Amino acid sequence: MDFGGSLSVLDPSMVLQVASVCGLTGKIKLITIDNVASFFIREGELTYATIDTSRKKLGQYLIERGFIEKHQLGEALAEYRSGNGAERIGNILIRRGYLDFESLKKAMQEQMKEVVYEVLHWNSGQFVYFDKILPEHEDIFLDIKMDHLILEGLKRMDEAEKGI
């Protein structure tokens, strides 16, 4: 751990803004009693985000958005399991012709944005920053400014409070 603190002192939007303003490159983990989110930052910009719970699985997201059919996911999952997870689900869907790379990329980027929007609600827990840690084995990254993500998330929170 290179630095960390309490989310009740620095809320998630502040933690992400500090990383952005300082141009940090590394990993930020936000930890609550029931959840953990990880953010990978390169030169102050968010490149990758994950969350342990409450996020829809990629396959479910692809079905809901009409990118693939339920039976296609079932076939890809069966192949994934028979290969002991050696190949990623997205790659299996692409190889089978059920999905193209751009659609997979779009879906994963949207999921990563949703991780940011979700954690902005967190007001307790801890954050930890690890310098120079980047995601391994990932080839799809976010391409959006950190401040845009934070502003959109805060706008959503404000609209939810007002019932819009």
pLDDT at 53: 76
What is d(CA 89, CA 61) in angstroms, rounded to the nearest whole number?
A: 13
Share of the chain above pLDDT 70, in %: 98
Find the angle CA(103)-CA(106)-CA(112) to the nearest 5 degrees: 140
User: How many angstroms from the chain centroid is the CA of residue 163?
Assistant: 26
pTM: 0.85
* 164 has a pLDDT exceeding 70: yes
* Coil, helix or strand at residue 115: helix
At 90-103, the pLDDT tens digits run 999 999 999 999 99
pLDDT at 126: 97
At 25-65, the pLDDT tens digits run 999 999 999 999 999 999 999 999 999 875 667 888 899 98
Pairing of strands 45-51, 126-131: unpaired
In contact, 7 and 15? CB cutoff 8 Å: yes
